[in-house]
Amino acid sequence: MKTIEPFTPIQYIIGHTEFCGFDIAVNKDVLIPRPETELLVQAVLDLSYTLQPTSHNLNILDLCTGSGNIAIALTKGISDCRIVASDISQDALEVARSNAGRHGLSYRIEFIQSDLFLNIKDKFDIIVSNPPYIAQFEFETLQKEVLKEPILALDGGEDGLDFYRKIVRSAPDHLRPGGHILFELGFGQASEIQKIIEAGGHFKIAEIRKDFNDIDRVVITKWIN
């Protein structure tokens, strides 16, 4: 019998979890989808209703897709959208591809291995991301179970904000005019992320949404120039 390492999250042991009502397979190569991230999906869905009908199908990029949870929930929720989902980890993409296949969505989601925008050529209406956002000093306070998740999916650099800076800097090259970036954020990061977004001069904050614990959790931005 295979022994289970102490502090292995239950989702890795049983091999799946639920996200937005969909069964999502997980293994140690992907972050376990969290309930808070459903709020990010809801924010993209709400935005999509205000953007449609457009002259074209909505083009959405899911950066750091992990298990593919966000891409899958969005594809199920928005008819006719086109989704590109990327991750730096080939192992994570394998999990995401297989999840899309199990939900009959392989033909609607294009998976691309990419370090953020590196291999992304298209322009999108919406960029959505739940990037790694744990700051270095927070690692020692994390639950032991969380430390079983892939470091690549957690580590946001010294202050946890590296990915927000990189995505905000490069996003104008990958958005259609007037496009949007939607991020999930970590506890206490809202004001710093607001500064990053506004300092670049290309985006304004349209809305910040709180989670069930009254923590700022989702930021919705709009490209202004």
Shortest Å, Cβ 121 to ligand GLN:
21
Q: How many CB atoms lie within 10 A of CB 71?
A: 28
The one-letter amino acid at 11: Q
Q: How many CB atoms lie within 10 A of CB 168?
A: 22
Q: Tell me how far the alpha carbon of residue 18 is from its chain's centroid.
A: 16
- 125 within 8 A of 176, measured Cβ to Cβ: yes
Extract the tokens encoding 63. Answer: 């950066």
Q: Return the number of the residue (70 or 127) whose C-beta is nearest ligand GLN.
A: 70
Shortest Å, Cβ 33 to ligand GLN:
4
3-class DSSP state of 84: strand
Extract the tokens encoding 137. Answer: 């000093």
Q: Return the number of the residue (65 or 75) whose C-beta is nearest ligand GLN.
A: 65
Shortest Å, Cβ 69 to ligand GLN:
5
**All residues at 6 or more sequence positions from 160 whose CB lies less than 8 Å from its CB, including other chains:** 133, 134, 135, 136, 138, 186, 189
Query: Can you tell me the distance from the alpha carbon of 33 to that of 73, in angstroms, rounded to the nearest whole number?
Result: 12
Closest residue (Cβ) to ligand GLN? Answer: 66
Q: Return the number of the residue (192 or 198) whose C-beta is nearest ligand GLN.
A: 192
Shortest Å, Cβ 60 to ligand GLN:
13
Q: Return the number of the residue (202 or 219) whose C-beta is nearest ligand GLN.
A: 219
Residues that bind ligand GLN (CB under 6 A): 31, 33, 37, 64-66, 69-70, 130-132, 153
Q: Return the number of the residue (102 or 198) whose C-beta is nearest ligand GLN.
A: 102
Shortest Å, Cβ 205 to ligand GLN:
21
